[in-house]
Amino acid sequence: MKRAQRSNAVRIQPTALRRWIVAGTLATTAVGGGLLLIFARLQAGKAVWTDGFFLNGSQWFDAARTTVTLVGIIGLGGAAFLAYRKQVSTEAGHLLDQSTSLRDRYTITAEQLGHDSAAIRLAGVYALASLADDWHDFGNDDERQVCVDLLCAYLRTARSAERIDRQEENVRSAIIDVLAGRSRKRSDGMDGPWVGLRFALFGADLTRANLAGANLSSANLTGANLSSAGLVGVNLTRVDLGGANLASAFLFGANLTGANLTNANLNSANLTSMNLGAAQLRSTLAEANLTGASLVGAHLTGANLTGARLTCAKLTNTNLVGANLTDAILLEADLSGADLSGADLTGANLILANLDGANLDGANLTNAIYDTHTRWPEGFSPPGSISS
Burial (CB < 10 A; 0-12, 13-18, 19+), residue 170, is: middle
Q: 329 or 70: which carries more pLDDT confidence? A: 329
d(CA 221, CA 151): 15
Chain centre to alpha carbon of residue 189: 16
Residue 199 pLDDT grade (very low, low, confident, very high; cuts 50, 70, 90): very high
* HSE-CB of 266 using CA atoms within 13 angstroms: 32
d(CA 138, CA 5): 7
d(CA 227, CA 241): 13
Lowest mean pLDDT among 71-85, 149-163, 166-180, 205-219: 71-85
| Mean pLDDT estimate for the chain | 84
Query: 145 in helix, strand or coil?
Result: helix
> How do residues 205-234 score in pLDDT, each as one tens digit?
999 999 999 999 999 999 999 999 999 999
Residue-level pLDDT at 2: 41
> How do residues 322-342 score in pLDDT, each as one tens digit?
999 999 999 999 999 999 999
Residue-level pLDDT at 284: 72
Burial (CB < 10 A; 0-12, 13-18, 19+), residue 182, is: buried
Residue-level pLDDT at 9: 42
> Does pLDDT of 96 surpass 80?
no
pTM reported for the whole predicted model: 0.72
Work out whether strand 219-220 and strand 260-265 pair parallel, antiparallel, or are unpaired.
Answer: unpaired
Residue-level pLDDT at 5: 45
Residue-level pLDDT at 240: 93
Residue-level pLDDT at 57: 58
- Scanning 139-257, the segments in alpha helix (DSSP H) are 141-156, 166-181
d(CA 70, CA 32): 8
Residue-level pLDDT at 10: 44
Residue 293 pLDDT grade (very low, low, confident, very high; cuts 50, 70, 90): confident
Q: How many Å from the N-terminal Cα to the C-terminal Cα in the chain? A: 68
Q: Looking at residue 185, what DSSP letter applies?
A: P
Residue-level pLDDT at 1: 41
Residue pair 152/221 in contact by the 8 Å Cβ criterion: no
- Scanning 182-235, the segments in alpha helix (DSSP H) are none
Residue-level pLDDT at 3: 46
d(CA 277, CA 271): 13
Residue 283 Ramachandran class (φ > 0 left, ψ -120 to 50 alpha, else beta):
beta
Question: At 197, which amino acid appears?
Answer: L
Residue-level pLDDT at 140: 93
> Does pLDDT of 320 surpass 60?
yes
What average pLDDT score do residues 260-266 get?
85
Q: 307 or 76: which carries more pLDDT confidence? A: 307
Q: 191 or 38: which carries more pLDDT confidence? A: 191
Q: Which of 365, 364, 370 is nearest to 387 (CA)?
A: 370
Tell me the CA distances in angstroms from 126 to 109, 132, 175, one per residue in order. Answer: 9, 10, 8
Residue 43 pLDDT grade (very low, low, confident, very high; cuts 50, 70, 90): low
Helices (H) and strands (E) in the chain, counts: 6, 4
Residue-level pLDDT at 33: 66
Question: At 142, which amino acid appears?
Answer: D
d(CA 290, CA 288): 6
Residue 360 pLDDT grade (very low, low, confident, very high; cuts 50, 70, 90): very high
Chain centre to alpha carbon of residue 135: 15
- Range among 52-61, 218-227, 273-282, 301-310 with highest mean pLDDT value: 218-227
> How do residues 3-17 score in pLDDT, each as one tens digit?
444 444 444 456 665
Residue pair 106/132 in contact by the 8 Å Cβ criterion: no
